[in-house]
C-alpha cells in the first residue's frame, strides 16, 4: 500500500484502544498522523510510541462534541502537514448501563453528543479541505450495537445506528468530489473497555461477569471476541486503493456475530 505513504490522517480517540491500533497500522504504512482525544496523557504516550517506530505523528487535545475543537483539530493537521486525506471518527464513550426510564437526559445527551454529533462535527470540519483537493476518506467506527437493539444501552446503540446513516448520507453528498465514506462495526473487542462493559452489565443484571462474557463469545461464529489489530487491518483497507470502488458501505468485524 505504498500509495498511502505521505498521506495525512486525523484519528479521533487516537490515544487508546482501537484508535491507537489504527494509528500504528497507518504509521507503518507511511502515513502522517494527528491524534485527537480529550485526555492528553494517552495521546502523548501514543505519539511517543509512533515516533519511536519511525512515524510522523503529533496530537491535539480535543473534545469532538465541541464545534470549535473540531475546527481547531483540522486546522492543526493542515498547519502541521499541509493537507488532510483521512479522518477516522473513532472517538466514543460507552455511556451508562441502565434501562431507558432510568436514563437521565444528561446521560443520553453526553453519549449522543460525543459518539454521533462528534462524528458529524469532525466530518463537517474536514470535508471542505477534502472537497477542494478532490479526494479524501472518512471512516466511521460504529459498533455491532449499531446493527441491532441493545437493551440497557439505549443511547450507545442509537448513536451507533446513527453513524451508519451518517456514513451513507455523507457518501451520497460528497462522492462526486472524490470523498469516500465507509464504516466499520466492530463486535466485542478484547481489551480493558469490553471488561468494563461486561462488569457494568453483570452488575445491572445481577449475574456473574463470566455469564455476560460467555454471551459475547457464544453468539459469534468464531466463538471468540475480535482484536483491535483485526479492526485496524480493515481500517487500513478502507482508506487504501484496494477499496477504491467502495463508499457508503458498512463492514462487520465481529467474529461472525449470529445474534438475532
Tell me the C-alpha distance between 178 and 246, whole Å: 12
DSSP line for 192-259 = HHHHHHHHHHHHHHTS-HHHHHHHHHHTBTTSS-B-HHHHHHHHHHHHSGGGTT--S-EEEESSSB--
Helices (H), 64-153: 67-81, 105-112, 118-133
156 is an active site residue: yes
Catalytic residue among 16, 26, 150, 156: 156
37 DSSP assignment: E
Q: Which residues are catalytic?
A: 156
Amino acid at each position: 500500500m505504498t500509495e498511502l505513504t505521505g498521506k495525512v490522517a486525523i484519528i479521533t480517540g487516537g490515544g487508546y484502544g482501537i484508535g491507537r491500533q489504527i494509528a500504528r497500522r497507518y504509521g507503518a504504512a507511511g502515513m502522517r498522523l494527528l491524534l485527537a482525544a480529550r485526555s492528553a496523557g494517552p495521546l502523548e504516550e501514543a505519539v511517543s510510541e509512533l515516533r519511536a517506530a519511525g512515524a510522523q505523528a503529533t496530537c491535539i487535545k480535543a473534545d469532538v462534541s465541541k464545534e470549535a475543537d473540531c475546527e481547531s483539530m483540522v486546522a492543526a493537521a493542515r498547519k502541521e502537514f499541509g493537507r488532510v486525506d483521512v479522518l477516522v471518527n473513532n472517538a466514543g464513550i460507552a455511556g451508562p448501563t441502565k434501562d431507558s426510564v432510568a436514563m437521565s437526559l444528561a446521560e443520553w445527551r453526553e453519549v449522543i453528543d460525543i459518539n454521533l454529533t462528534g462524528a458529524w462535527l469532525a466530518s463537517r470540519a474536514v470535508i471542505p479541505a477534502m472537497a477542494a483537493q478532490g479526494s479524501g476518506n472518512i471512516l466511521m467506527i460504529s459498533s455491532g450495537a449499531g446493527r441491532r437493539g441493545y437493551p440497557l444501552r439505549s443511547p450507545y446503540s442509537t448513536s451507533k445506528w446513527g453513524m451508519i446513516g451518517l456514513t451513507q448520507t455523507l457518501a451520497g453528498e460528497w462522492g462526486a468530489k472524490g470523498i469516500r465514506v465507509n464504516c466499520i462495526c466492530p463486535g466485542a473487542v478484547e481489551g480493558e473497555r469490553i471488561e468494563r462493559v461486561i462488569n457494568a452489565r453483570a452488575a445491572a443484571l445481577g449475574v456473574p461477569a463470566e455469564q455476560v462474557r460467555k454471551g459475547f463469545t457464544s453468539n459469534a461464529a468464531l466463538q471468540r471476541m475480535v482484536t483491535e489489530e483485526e479492526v485496524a487491518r480493515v481500517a487500513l483497507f478502507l482508506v487504501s486503493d484496494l477499496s477504491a470502488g467502495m463508499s457508503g458501505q458498512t463492514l462487520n468485524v465481529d467474529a461472525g456475530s449470529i445474534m438475532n
